[in-house]
């Protein structure tokens, strides 16, 4: 069973000049995980043995010939029992995790979970997720 007290966000800042979403660095089980995460968006599954995050990987800001900026958010899942991380193969321009029941993750293609038309789901399995190694570093501040 996972304790949410093992999760803290640092250097949380407004992003994309939109009054949100708020993205920060993730302290997980006493270590800083490389990358940025949607702050306070983690969700435990109903059995409390998996936790799901919205991870921000990059933003392509190529604007040549009017091309839009594209953001790359992925679903990051930590399996407590196996002590392993998994990341969605699919990327999203916006991503808010609503819940996880059994192996079904419900998310919204937005930075909030209020609007029904943005709701979708994905099954946690080897077709949709890859096991990944997570880079960590020591905490520089408390």
Q: State residue 34's pLDDT score.
A: 84
pLDDT at 99 over 60: yes
Higher pLDDT, 112 or 89: 89
| pTM of the predicted protein model | 0.85
Residue 110 CB burial class (10 angstroms; 0-12, 13-18, ≥19): middle
Q: What local confidence, expressed as pLDDT, does residue 41 receive? A: 84
User: Percent of the chain beyond pLDDT 70?
Assistant: 83
Binning pLDDT at 50, 70 and 90, where does residue 68 land? Answer: low
Q: Note the pLDDT of residue 61.
A: 57
Q: What is the pLDDT of residues 25-53, one digit of tens each?
A: 999 988 889 889 888 889 999 888 999 99
pLDDT at 16 over 60: yes
CA nearest 33: which of 66, 58, 1, 10? 10
């Amino acid at each position: 069973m996972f304790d949410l007290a093992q999760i803290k966000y640092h250097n949380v800042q407004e992003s994309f000049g939109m009054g949100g979403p708020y993205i920060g660095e993730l302290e997980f089980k006493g270590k800083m995980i490389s990358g940025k995460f949607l702050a306070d968006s983690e969700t435990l599954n109903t059995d409390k043995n998996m936790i799901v995050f919205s991870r921000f990987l990059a933003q392509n800001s190529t604007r040549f010939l009017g091309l839009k900026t594209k953001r790359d958010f992925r679903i990051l899942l930590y399996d407590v029992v196996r002590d392993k991380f998994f990341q969605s193969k699919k990327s999203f321009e916006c991503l808010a995790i609503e819940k996880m029941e059994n192996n079904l993750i419900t998310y919204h293609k937005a930075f909030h979970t209020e609007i029904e038309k943005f709701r979708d789901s994905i099954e946690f399995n080897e077709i949709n997720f890859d096991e990944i190694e997570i880079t960590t570093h020591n905490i520089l501040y408390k």
